[in-house]
A and B are shown apart, each in its own frame.
Chain A
Amino acid sequence: MASNDTDLVLMTRVKEGDEDAFRELIERYQRPVINMIYRSIGDAWEAEDLAQRVFIQVFRSAGRYQATAKFTTWLFTITRNTVLNEYRRRGRRATESLDALTENEESARQFADARTADPAQEVVERELQDTIHAAIQTLPEAQRTAVILCRFEGLAYEEIAVVLGCSVSAVKSLLNRAREALKEKLRGCY
Protein backbone atom coordinates (compact mmCIF):
# COMPACT_ATOMS: atom_id res chain seq x y z
CA MET A 1 0.00 0.00 0.00
CA ALA A 2 1.38 3.41 -0.91
CA SER A 3 2.40 5.74 1.90
CA ASN A 4 -0.36 8.25 1.18
CA ASP A 5 -2.99 5.51 1.07
CA THR A 6 -1.85 4.30 4.49
CA ASP A 7 -2.02 7.87 5.77
CA LEU A 8 -5.57 8.22 4.48
CA VAL A 9 -6.62 5.00 6.18
CA LEU A 10 -5.00 6.15 9.42
CA MET A 11 -6.62 9.58 9.17
CA THR A 12 -10.01 8.00 8.60
CA ARG A 13 -9.54 6.09 11.83
CA VAL A 14 -8.22 9.18 13.63
CA LYS A 15 -11.41 11.02 12.57
CA GLU A 16 -13.34 8.37 14.44
CA GLY A 17 -11.21 9.02 17.53
CA ASP A 18 -8.98 5.94 17.19
CA GLU A 19 -5.94 6.67 19.37
CA ASP A 20 -3.97 3.68 18.11
CA ALA A 21 -4.16 5.09 14.60
CA PHE A 22 -3.15 8.46 15.97
CA ARG A 23 -0.15 6.92 17.72
CA GLU A 24 0.86 5.20 14.49
CA LEU A 25 0.56 8.47 12.63
CA ILE A 26 2.77 10.21 15.20
CA GLU A 27 5.37 7.47 14.98
CA ARG A 28 5.44 7.74 11.20
CA TYR A 29 5.90 11.50 11.11
CA GLN A 30 7.45 12.54 14.42
CA ARG A 31 10.94 12.76 12.97
CA PRO A 32 10.19 14.99 9.94
CA VAL A 33 7.92 17.26 11.98
CA ILE A 34 10.40 17.67 14.84
CA ASN A 35 13.27 18.26 12.42
CA MET A 36 11.35 20.77 10.35
CA ILE A 37 10.62 22.77 13.50
CA TYR A 38 14.15 22.32 14.82
CA ARG A 39 15.64 23.61 11.56
CA SER A 40 13.22 26.53 11.63
CA ILE A 41 13.68 27.72 15.21
CA GLY A 42 17.03 26.21 16.15
CA ASP A 43 15.95 24.89 19.54
CA ALA A 44 15.81 21.15 20.04
CA TRP A 45 13.70 21.14 23.22
CA GLU A 46 11.18 23.60 21.92
CA ALA A 47 10.98 21.65 18.67
CA GLU A 48 9.53 18.67 20.56
CA ASP A 49 7.08 20.84 22.45
CA LEU A 50 5.85 22.45 19.25
CA ALA A 51 5.74 19.10 17.45
CA GLN A 52 3.39 17.84 20.16
CA ARG A 53 1.16 20.85 19.54
CA VAL A 54 1.21 20.05 15.81
CA PHE A 55 0.01 16.49 16.39
CA ILE A 56 -2.64 17.61 18.87
CA GLN A 57 -3.84 20.05 16.21
CA VAL A 58 -3.90 17.20 13.68
CA PHE A 59 -6.09 15.15 16.01
CA ARG A 60 -8.48 18.01 16.70
CA SER A 61 -8.69 19.07 13.06
CA ALA A 62 -8.99 15.54 11.68
CA GLY A 63 -12.66 16.12 10.94
CA ARG A 64 -11.78 18.96 8.59
CA TYR A 65 -9.16 17.00 6.67
CA GLN A 66 -10.14 16.37 3.07
CA ALA A 67 -8.82 13.20 1.50
CA THR A 68 -8.21 15.10 -1.75
CA ALA A 69 -5.11 16.71 -0.21
CA LYS A 70 -1.98 14.70 0.40
CA PHE A 71 -1.60 14.07 4.12
CA THR A 72 2.05 15.19 4.33
CA THR A 73 1.18 18.50 2.64
CA TRP A 74 -1.56 19.10 5.19
CA LEU A 75 0.73 18.06 8.05
CA PHE A 76 3.56 20.36 6.94
CA THR A 77 1.09 23.22 6.51
CA ILE A 78 0.01 22.81 10.15
CA THR A 79 3.66 22.57 11.15
CA ARG A 80 4.53 25.76 9.32
CA ASN A 81 1.58 27.61 10.87
CA THR A 82 2.66 26.43 14.31
CA VAL A 83 6.19 27.73 13.67
CA LEU A 84 4.81 31.07 12.43
CA ASN A 85 2.70 31.35 15.58
CA GLU A 86 5.79 30.68 17.62
CA TYR A 87 7.63 33.50 15.84
CA ARG A 88 4.73 35.81 16.60
CA ARG A 89 4.63 34.68 20.21
CA ARG A 90 8.28 35.42 20.60
CA GLY A 91 7.65 38.77 19.02
CA ARG A 92 10.70 38.76 16.89
CA ARG A 93 11.71 37.90 13.40
CA ALA A 94 12.82 34.44 12.43
CA THR A 95 16.32 35.61 11.61
CA GLU A 96 16.80 36.69 15.20
CA SER A 97 16.50 33.13 16.43
CA LEU A 98 20.26 32.90 16.01
CA ASP A 99 20.38 34.00 19.64
CA ALA A 100 18.31 30.99 20.58
CA LEU A 101 20.71 28.81 18.66
CA THR A 102 23.62 30.00 20.76
CA GLU A 103 21.66 29.77 23.99
CA ASN A 104 20.53 26.25 23.28
CA GLU A 105 23.69 25.04 21.68
CA GLU A 106 24.29 22.52 24.42
CA SER A 107 20.85 20.99 24.18
CA ALA A 108 21.15 20.74 20.42
CA ARG A 109 24.44 18.94 20.76
CA GLN A 110 22.90 16.57 23.21
CA PHE A 111 20.45 15.56 20.53
CA ALA A 112 22.87 15.27 17.68
CA ASP A 113 24.35 11.84 17.15
CA ALA A 114 28.10 11.56 17.41
CA ARG A 115 29.35 9.85 14.31
CA THR A 116 32.98 10.82 14.71
CA ALA A 117 35.22 9.35 17.33
CA ASP A 118 38.22 11.64 16.80
CA PRO A 119 37.86 14.73 19.11
CA ALA A 120 39.54 17.08 16.61
CA GLN A 121 37.32 15.85 13.83
CA GLU A 122 34.34 16.19 16.13
CA VAL A 123 35.18 19.85 16.76
CA VAL A 124 35.44 20.49 13.02
CA GLU A 125 32.17 18.66 12.49
CA ARG A 126 30.44 20.70 15.20
CA GLU A 127 31.65 23.92 13.65
CA LEU A 128 30.35 22.80 10.29
CA GLN A 129 26.99 21.89 11.82
CA ASP A 130 26.78 25.29 13.50
CA THR A 131 27.72 27.08 10.28
CA ILE A 132 25.09 25.23 8.25
CA HIS A 133 22.50 25.80 10.94
CA ALA A 134 23.31 29.50 11.14
CA ALA A 135 23.20 29.83 7.35
CA ILE A 136 19.71 28.31 7.24
CA GLN A 137 18.54 30.47 10.12
CA THR A 138 19.54 33.68 8.39
CA LEU A 139 17.27 32.97 5.41
CA PRO A 140 13.88 34.73 5.33
CA GLU A 141 11.08 32.50 6.63
CA ALA A 142 9.58 31.54 3.25
CA GLN A 143 12.99 30.71 1.74
CA ARG A 144 13.97 28.73 4.81
CA THR A 145 10.76 26.70 4.81
CA ALA A 146 11.14 26.03 1.07
CA VAL A 147 14.73 24.84 1.59
CA ILE A 148 13.80 22.61 4.53
CA LEU A 149 10.89 21.02 2.68
CA CYS A 150 12.85 20.58 -0.55
CA ARG A 151 16.30 19.61 0.69
CA PHE A 152 15.50 17.73 3.89
CA GLU A 153 11.96 16.44 3.46
CA GLY A 154 12.14 15.82 -0.27
CA LEU A 155 8.81 17.44 -1.14
CA ALA A 156 8.02 18.23 -4.78
CA TYR A 157 7.71 21.87 -5.88
CA GLU A 158 3.95 21.45 -6.19
CA GLU A 159 3.67 20.23 -2.60
CA ILE A 160 5.88 23.03 -1.30
CA ALA A 161 3.68 25.50 -3.18
CA VAL A 162 0.62 24.16 -1.34
CA VAL A 163 2.34 24.42 2.05
CA LEU A 164 3.56 27.96 1.39
CA GLY A 165 0.33 29.00 -0.32
CA CYS A 166 2.03 30.28 -3.46
CA SER A 167 2.63 29.24 -7.07
CA VAL A 168 5.18 26.69 -8.25
CA SER A 169 7.15 29.40 -10.04
CA ALA A 170 7.28 31.38 -6.78
CA VAL A 171 8.69 28.30 -5.03
CA LYS A 172 11.37 27.96 -7.72
CA SER A 173 12.22 31.62 -7.29
CA LEU A 174 12.44 31.24 -3.50
CA LEU A 175 14.73 28.26 -3.84
CA ASN A 176 16.98 30.01 -6.35
CA ARG A 177 17.37 32.99 -4.04
CA ALA A 178 18.00 30.69 -1.10
CA ARG A 179 20.69 28.81 -3.06
CA GLU A 180 22.40 32.09 -3.90
CA ALA A 181 22.30 33.22 -0.28
CA LEU A 182 23.53 29.86 1.03
CA LYS A 183 26.34 29.84 -1.49
CA GLU A 184 27.64 33.09 -0.01
CA LYS A 185 27.11 32.07 3.60
CA LEU A 186 28.72 28.67 3.21
CA ARG A 187 31.61 29.82 1.02
CA GLY A 188 34.78 28.26 2.34
CA CYS A 189 32.99 25.27 3.87
CA TYR A 190 32.74 23.25 0.67
Chain B
Amino acid sequence: MNRDEYEDKDAQAAWELLGRQRGIEPSFGFAQRTIRRLHEAPARRFWQLPVFRWATALSCVAMISISGLVIQRRAIARHNAEVYAAAHQDTLEDYDVIAALDQLEDDNRL
Protein backbone atom coordinates (compact mmCIF):
# COMPACT_ATOMS: atom_id res chain seq x y z
CA MET B 1 0.00 0.00 0.00
CA ASN B 2 1.53 3.32 -0.96
CA ARG B 3 1.31 6.48 1.12
CA ASP B 4 -1.27 8.24 -1.09
CA GLU B 5 -3.64 5.33 -0.97
CA TYR B 6 -3.30 5.22 2.83
CA GLU B 7 -4.04 8.94 3.07
CA ASP B 8 -7.12 8.62 0.87
CA LYS B 9 -8.46 5.77 2.96
CA ASP B 10 -7.99 7.85 6.12
CA ALA B 11 -9.86 10.78 4.62
CA GLN B 12 -12.58 8.45 3.42
CA ALA B 13 -12.89 6.88 6.89
CA ALA B 14 -13.11 10.30 8.53
CA TRP B 15 -15.73 11.35 5.99
CA GLU B 16 -17.78 8.27 6.72
CA LEU B 17 -17.40 8.79 10.46
CA LEU B 18 -19.04 12.20 10.07
CA GLY B 19 -22.18 10.41 8.98
CA ARG B 20 -22.47 8.92 12.45
CA GLN B 21 -23.14 12.31 13.95
CA ARG B 22 -26.67 12.45 15.27
CA GLY B 23 -28.90 15.29 14.30
CA ILE B 24 -31.58 16.83 16.47
CA GLU B 25 -35.31 16.53 16.11
CA PRO B 26 -37.49 19.64 15.93
CA SER B 27 -39.44 20.09 19.14
CA PHE B 28 -43.17 19.40 19.12
CA GLY B 29 -45.25 22.17 17.56
CA PHE B 30 -42.32 23.90 15.87
CA ALA B 31 -44.36 24.86 12.80
CA GLN B 32 -47.24 26.25 14.88
CA ARG B 33 -44.86 28.29 17.03
CA THR B 34 -43.15 29.67 13.93
CA ILE B 35 -46.46 30.81 12.46
CA ARG B 36 -47.47 32.35 15.79
CA ARG B 37 -44.14 34.17 15.90
CA LEU B 38 -44.71 35.39 12.36
CA HIS B 39 -47.93 37.06 13.50
CA GLU B 40 -46.34 38.48 16.65
CA ALA B 41 -43.24 39.87 14.96
CA PRO B 42 -43.97 43.34 13.60
CA ALA B 43 -43.16 43.84 9.97
CA ARG B 44 -39.98 45.79 9.31
CA ARG B 45 -40.45 49.53 9.18
CA PHE B 46 -38.49 51.49 6.63
CA TRP B 47 -36.06 52.75 9.27
CA GLN B 48 -35.21 49.16 10.16
CA LEU B 49 -34.01 48.42 6.66
CA PRO B 50 -30.25 47.91 6.38
CA VAL B 51 -30.02 50.64 3.73
CA PHE B 52 -31.52 53.16 6.11
CA ARG B 53 -29.16 52.09 8.89
CA TRP B 54 -26.18 52.57 6.60
CA ALA B 55 -27.49 55.94 5.48
CA THR B 56 -27.93 57.02 9.11
CA ALA B 57 -24.44 55.88 10.02
CA LEU B 58 -22.91 57.67 7.03
CA SER B 59 -24.87 60.84 7.82
CA CYS B 60 -23.55 60.79 11.39
CA VAL B 61 -19.99 60.35 10.15
CA ALA B 62 -20.46 63.22 7.66
CA MET B 63 -21.96 65.47 10.35
CA ILE B 64 -19.11 64.77 12.76
CA SER B 65 -16.55 65.40 10.02
CA ILE B 66 -18.13 68.71 8.97
CA SER B 67 -18.47 69.85 12.60
CA GLY B 68 -14.83 68.98 13.21
CA LEU B 69 -13.78 70.91 10.13
CA VAL B 70 -15.79 74.01 11.14
CA ILE B 71 -14.43 73.91 14.70
CA GLN B 72 -10.90 73.52 13.40
CA ARG B 73 -11.24 76.46 10.97
CA ARG B 74 -12.68 78.69 13.69
CA ALA B 75 -9.80 77.76 16.00
CA ILE B 76 -7.30 78.58 13.27
CA ALA B 77 -8.99 81.96 12.56
CA ARG B 78 -9.02 82.83 16.27
CA HIS B 79 -5.39 81.86 16.58
CA ASN B 80 -4.46 83.99 13.55
CA ALA B 81 -6.36 86.97 15.01
CA GLU B 82 -4.52 86.60 18.30
CA VAL B 83 -1.17 86.43 16.51
CA TYR B 84 -2.05 89.53 14.48
CA ALA B 85 -3.17 91.44 17.56
CA ALA B 86 -0.03 90.48 19.44
CA ALA B 87 2.16 91.55 16.52
CA HIS B 88 0.49 94.98 16.31
CA GLN B 89 0.03 95.57 20.02
CA ASP B 90 2.75 98.24 20.33
CA THR B 91 1.63 100.36 17.41
CA LEU B 92 -1.99 100.23 18.52
CA GLU B 93 -1.06 101.53 21.95
CA ASP B 94 0.49 104.72 20.45
CA TYR B 95 -2.85 106.10 19.36
CA ASP B 96 -5.14 108.05 21.67
CA VAL B 97 -8.76 107.32 21.25
CA ILE B 98 -10.90 110.40 20.87
CA ALA B 99 -14.49 109.82 21.82
CA ALA B 100 -15.92 113.07 20.49
CA LEU B 101 -14.77 115.21 17.62
CA ASP B 102 -15.64 118.36 19.69
CA GLN B 103 -12.60 117.65 21.80
CA LEU B 104 -10.36 118.45 18.88
CA GLU B 105 -8.51 121.71 19.58
CA ASP B 106 -6.48 123.89 17.30
CA ASP B 107 -3.33 121.83 17.74
CA ASN B 108 -5.10 118.65 17.14
CA ARG B 109 -6.84 119.29 13.89
CA LEU B 110 -7.26 116.45 11.54
Check if A and B associate.
yes
> B-side binding surface: helix, strand, loop or mixed?
helix
B31 in contact with A186 (CB, 8 Å)? no
Which range contains the number of B residues in contact with the other chain? Answer: 20 to 34
Within 8 A of A (CB), among B1-32: 7, 10-11, 13-27, 30-32
Chain B residue numbers with a CB within 8 Å of A136 are 18, 21
A22 in contact with B22 (CB, 8 Å)? no
Task: Provide the bound-state CA to CA distance between A180 and B11, in Å.
Answer: 6
In the assembled complex, B33 has its CB within 8 A of some CB on chain A: yes
B34 in contact with A52 (CB, 8 Å)? yes
A23 in contact with B26 (CB, 8 Å)? no
CB distance from B50 to the nearest CB of A (A): 11
B24 in contact with A47 (CB, 8 Å)? yes
Task: Provide the bound-state CA to CA distance between A158 and B41, in Å.
Answer: 35
B30 in contact with A48 (CB, 8 Å)? yes
Task: Provide the bound-state CA to CA distance between A44 and B25, in Å.
Answer: 10
CB distance from A182 to the nearest CB of B (A): 5
Per-position contact with B for A85-119: 1 when CB-CB < 8 Å, else 0?
Answer: 00000000000000000000000100111010000
A183 in contact with B41 (CB, 8 Å)? no
Q: Assuming the A-B contacts A31-B26, A48-B27, are A55 and B17 also in contact, with contact meaning beta carbons closer than 8 angstroms in the complex?
A: no
A-B contact sample (13 more), CB < 8 A, given A113-B25, A189-B14: A34-B26, A34-B30, A44-B24, A47-B24, A55-B34, A59-B38, A60-B44, A136-B18, A147-B18, A152-B23, A182-B14, A183-B11, A186-B18
Interface residues of B (CB under 8 A from A): 7, 10-11, 13-27, 30-35, 37-38, 41, 43-44
Interface residues of A (CB under 8 A from B): 19, 22-23, 26-27, 30-31, 34-35, 38-39, 44, 47-48, 51-52, 55-56, 59-60, 108, 111-113, 115, 128-129, 132-133, 136, 147, 151-152, 179-180, 182-183, 185-187, 189-190
